[in-house]
C-alpha cells in the first residue's frame, strides 16, 4: 500500500510540475499590450501555446515560460491589440476579384487616380479590363470632385474600363461601351439608367435608380481569372487584410456569389490550411422568387450542428447561417443619391416564409436593413414568427441600421437581436445629408444608444464594393464622426471613445454570434493578435486611418510580418497575373 501511495504521490507531483513546466511556442515581449480583458489591463508580454493564449504578464513572468523551441518576438515598445474582427465584409467574393482591381481606397487626388489608370492601361493585356470597384469617393480627393468621362477616356484609351462609384453609379469608357455592345438602342434595365447624350448615344455613365443591378450585372460580364489566379487573388486579399490587422471576418455573402459553386476557392484553401482569417460565412439568396427553395436546399446540404460553437476548425471556415439578403422583396437599397425605395406589399409574406424556415431549423440569420421604415416592417415579421416559433436565443441581427429608431431598437432588444453596423456613412455621409439633411445624420447610426440599451453590436466595413475594407477607417469614423473627406457628419456626442470602438471591432463582434474565448488577449483565449506600427490610443485622429500591422498572428500562427519581422513571417507570395494592379500598387493607398 505504501508503494502504491508513493506512486500516486509521485504522479501528482509530476503532473503538477508538468503543468507548471508547460512552455510557450511564441512569446511576445516589450510590448504595450492591450488585453481588453474585464480589467482592461495593459501588460508587457504574452505567451502563446498552440493556438491559445498561455499567459500574460511582465517580461520576467512570461520569459519563465520559454523553452528550447520557443520563438521570442520583441515588440520593441509597439502597441499590441487583439486581432480585428470585421463583422460584415465580402471576403470570399472579394478574394476572387482582388487581383483584377485597381483600388482607389486612400488615394488623395484625382490627378493620382488618373495617373494610376494611365499606368495600368499601359500594362493591361488585350482581352482584359481595368476596373476600379468601390472604396472611394470625391471628398477624399484634394480637388473635391469626381473624374470626368473625358479624363477617364484620355487616361485609358482603347483599354476597356469600368469604374464603380459607391452604390449609385459607374462609368464605362468608350472602349468598354464597345466591348459590351452598349448603344443608343440598348434598353434601360428596371430601376437603372444608361445615360445618353443629346444625340441619343450612351455617354458611359450607368446610374442605379436606385437598384444597383445595372452596376453589378455589368461588372459580372467582365472577364474573370483562371483558377490558379483566383486562388492567388484570394490569398493576396487575405494577406492584405492581415496587413491591416484583421484576423477574422463574418462574410455576408453578396450578389453574384452563388453557393456552393463560388465557394470552391476558399473550400480548397481551407483543405490546404491556407486561410489566414477566421471566416464564418452566411448564405445570400441570389434569385428573386426562389429564395425559399434555395434556403430549403441549403438547409438540406449543410449541417450546422457539425460546427458547434467550440472553436470549429482552425479558421472557423463554415456556414454560420442565412443572409444578409433573405428575400429580394426586402432589399432596401442604400443608394442615398435617390429616395428610399418603398418595399412591395408582397415583402412580408415572402420574408416570413424564409425566416420561419430558418428559425424552425435553428439557423442564425442576418438581414440587410438600411432604413427605419424597412426595419419597422421587418420587425413585424420577426415578431410574428417568434409568436409561432419562439426564437429562444437564436442568433439573429440586422446589418447597417443607419436610421433605426428608439422604438425599434427597443424591439430588437426584446427579441434578443443584434446589430452589425459599418462605416458606410464615412463614404456616403455627404450624399445622405444632401438628401435627408444634417440633423438625421448626427446619430446615423445611433451606436451609442444601441450600447446603452445593451444590444449586441459589432463594427465592420461592408468592403469592398461600396466602402473600403480598411477597418481602421471605420475606427476613425466612429471615434471622430468624420467622413473620409474630413467632414463632421456624426455629432461628437454620438461618437465612441477609442477603447469602446476597439471592443466593437474585436470581442464584441463575436458576441453577435455568441462566440466565446475570442477577441481578447487573455489566458485561454484563441491567439489572434497584432503588433501595430502606430499606437492606436495616442496617435492623432487622422493617423488612425493609416495604422497597419507589423506582425499578425491568427490561431497561434504568424500570417503576416513587415520588414522588421521577416525572420518569423511567411515569405510574400508573388502576385499573378503579372499585369495585376495589386503587383504594382498594392491594396489600400496612402498617396
Is the pLDDT at 462 greater than 70? The verdict is yes
Neighbouring CB atoms inside 10 A of 209's CB total 20
pLDDT tens, position by position, 157-198: 999 999 999 999 999 999 999 999 999 999 999 999 999 999
Domains of the chain: 98-224 (3.10.310.70), 265-519 (3.20.20.140)
Arithmetic mean of pLDDT over the chain: 94
Using alpha carbons, select from 246, 243, 311 the residue that is nearest to residue 82.
Answer: 246
Q: Please name the residue ranges forming H helices in 64-221.
A: 91-97, 110-123, 149-156, 174-179, 213-220
- Burial (CB count within 10 angstroms: exposed 0-12, middle 13-18, buried 19+), residue 487: middle
Neighbouring CB atoms inside 10 A of 259's CB total 20
- For residues 292 and 239, give the distance between their C-alpha atoms in angstroms, rounded to a whole number: 36
Encode 9-21 in three state secondary structure. HHHHHHHHHHHHC
Residues ≥6 apart with Cβ < 8 Å to 452: none
- Residue 473 to residues 79, 179, 422, 460, 541: CA-CA distances in angstroms? 18, 36, 10, 10, 10
- Residue 245 to residues 84, 120, 351, 482, 573: CA-CA distances in angstroms? 6, 28, 37, 22, 18
Encode 419-488 in three state secondary structure. EEEECHHHHHHHHHHHHHCHHHHCCCCCHHHHHHCCCCEEEECCECCCECCCHHHHHHHHHHCECCCCCE
Q: How much of the chain exceeds pLDDT 70, in percent?
A: 95
433 backbone φψ class: left, alpha, beta (φ>0; ψ -120 to 50): alpha
Is the pLDDT at 123 greater than 90? The verdict is yes
- Quick one: pLDDT at residue 8? 43
- For residues 220 and 232, give the distance between their C-alpha atoms in angstroms, rounded to a whole number: 20
The whole-number average pLDDT for the span 208-234 is: 96
Q: Cis peptide leading into 210, omega within 30 of 0?
A: yes
Residues ≥6 apart with Cβ < 8 Å to 13: none
- Quick one: pLDDT at residue 215? 95
Q: Looking at the DSSP assignment, which residues form a beta bridge with residue 248?
A: 85, 278
pLDDT tens, position by position, 327-364: 999 999 888 998 999 999 999 999 999 999 999 999 99
- For residues 554 and 503, give the distance between their C-alpha atoms in angstroms, rounded to a whole number: 18
Looking up cell 510540475 gives 17
The whole-number average pLDDT for the span 91-100 is: 97
pLDDT tens, position by position, 356-392: 999 999 999 999 999 999 999 999 999 999 999 999 9
Is the pLDDT at 6 greater than 60? The verdict is no
Looking up cell 455617354 gives 203
The per-residue DSSP string of 27-43 comes to: EEES-EEE--STT--EE
- For residues 458 and 263, give the distance between their C-alpha atoms in angstroms, rounded to a whole number: 25
Amino acid at each position: 500500500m505504501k508503494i502504491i501511495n508513493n506512486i500516486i504521490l509521485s504522479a501528482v507531483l509530476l503532473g503538477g510540475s508538468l503543468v507548471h513546466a508547460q512552455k510557450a511556442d511564441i512569446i511576445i515581449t516589450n510590448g504595450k499590450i492591450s488585453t481588453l480583458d474585464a480589467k482592461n489591463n495593459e501588460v508587457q508580454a504574452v505567451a502563446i501555446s498552440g493556438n491559445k493564449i498561455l499567459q500574460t504578464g511582465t517580461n520576467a513572468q512570461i520569459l519563465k515560460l520559454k523553452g528550447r523551441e520557443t520563438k521570442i518576438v520583441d515588440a520593441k515598445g509597439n502597441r499590441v491589440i487583439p486581432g480585428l474582427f470585421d463583422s460584415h465584409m465580402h471576403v470570399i467574393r472579394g478574394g476572387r476579384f482582388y487581383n483584377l482591381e485597381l483600388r482607389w481606397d486612400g488615394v488623395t487626388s484625382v490627378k493620382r487616380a488618373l495617373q494610376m489608370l494611365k499606368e495600368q492601361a499601359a500594362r493591361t493585356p488585350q482581352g482584359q479590363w481595368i476596373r476600379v470597384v468601390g472604396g472611394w469617393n470625391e471628398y477624399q480627393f484634394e480637388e473635391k470632385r469626381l473624374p470626368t468621362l473625358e479624363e477617364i477616356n484620355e487616361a485609358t484609351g482603347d483599354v476597356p474600363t469600368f469604374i464603380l462609384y459607391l452604390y449609385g453609379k459607374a462609368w464605362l469608357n468608350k472602349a468598354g461601351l464597345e466591348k459590351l455592345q452598349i448603344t443608343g438602342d440598348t434598353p434601360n434595365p428596371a430601376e437603372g439608367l444608361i445615360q445618353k447624350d443629346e444625340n441619343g448615344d450612351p455617354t458611359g455613365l450607368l446610374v442605379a435608380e436606385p437598384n444597383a443591378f445595372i452596376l453589378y450585372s455589368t461588372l459580372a460580364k467582365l472577364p474573370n481569372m483562371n483558377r490558379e489566379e483566383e486562388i492567388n487573388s484570394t490569398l493576396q486579399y487575405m494577406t492584405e487584410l492581415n496587413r491591416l490587422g484583421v484576423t477574422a471576418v463574418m462574410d455576408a455573402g453578396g450578389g453574384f456569389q452563388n453557393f456552393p459553386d463560388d465557394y470552391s476557392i476558399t473550400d480548397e484553401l481551407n483543405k490546404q490550411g491556407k486561410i489566414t482569417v477566421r471566416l464564418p460565412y452566411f448564405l445570400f439568396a441570389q434569385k428573386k422568387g426562389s429564395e425559399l427553395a434555395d434556403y430549403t436546399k441549403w438547409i438540406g446540404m449543410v449541417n450546422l450542428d457539425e460546427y458547434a460553437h467550440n472553436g470549429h476548425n482552425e479558421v472557423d471556415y463554415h456556414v454560420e447561417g442565412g443572409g444578409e439578403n433573405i428575400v429580394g422583396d426586402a432589399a432596401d437599397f442604400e443608394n442615398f443619391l435617390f429616395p428610399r425605395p418603398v418595399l412591395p406589399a408582397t415583402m412580408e409574406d415572402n420574408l416570413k416564409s424564409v425566416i420561419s424556415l430558418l428559425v424552425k431549423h435553428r439557423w442564425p440569420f442576418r438581414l440587410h436593413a438600411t432604413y427605419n421604415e424597412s426595419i419597422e416592417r421587418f420587425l413585424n415579421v420577426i415578431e410574428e414568427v417568434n409568436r409561432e416559433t419562439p426564437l429562444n436565443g437564436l442568433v439573429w441581427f440586422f446589418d447597417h441600421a443607419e436610421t433605426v429608431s428608439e422604438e425599434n431598437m427597443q424591439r430588437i432588444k426584446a427579441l434578443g437581436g443584434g446589430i452589425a453596423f459599418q462605416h458606410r456613412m464615412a463614404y456616403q455621409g455627404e450624399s445622405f445629408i444632401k438628401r435627408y439633411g444634417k440633423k438625421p445624420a448626427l446619430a446615423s447610426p445611433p451606436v451609442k444608444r444601441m450600447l446603452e440599451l445593451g444590444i449586441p453590436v459589432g463594427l465592420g466595413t461592408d468592403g469592398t464594393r461600396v466602402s473600403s475594407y480598411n477597418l481602421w477607417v471605420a475606427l476613425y469614423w466612429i471615434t471622430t464622426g468624420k467622413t473620409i473627406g474630413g467632414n463632421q457628419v456624426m455629432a461628437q456626442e454620438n461618437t465612441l471613445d477609442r477603447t469602446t470602438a476597439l471592443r466593437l471591432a474585436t470581442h464584441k463582434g463575436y458576441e453577435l454570434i455568441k462566440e466565446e474565448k475570442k477577441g481578447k488577449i487573455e489566458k485561454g483565449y484563441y491567439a489572434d493578435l497584432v503588433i501595430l506600427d502606430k499606437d492606436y490610443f495616442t496617435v492623432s485622429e487622422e493617423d488612425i486611418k493609416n495604422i497597419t500591422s507589423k506582425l499578425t498572428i491568427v490561431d497561434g500562427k504568424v500570417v503576416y510580418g513587415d520588414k522588421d519581422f521577416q525572420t518569423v513571417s511567411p515569405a510574400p507570395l508573388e502576385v499573378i497575373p503579372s499585369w495585376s494592379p495589386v503587383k504594382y500598387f498594392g491594396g489600400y493607398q496612402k498617396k
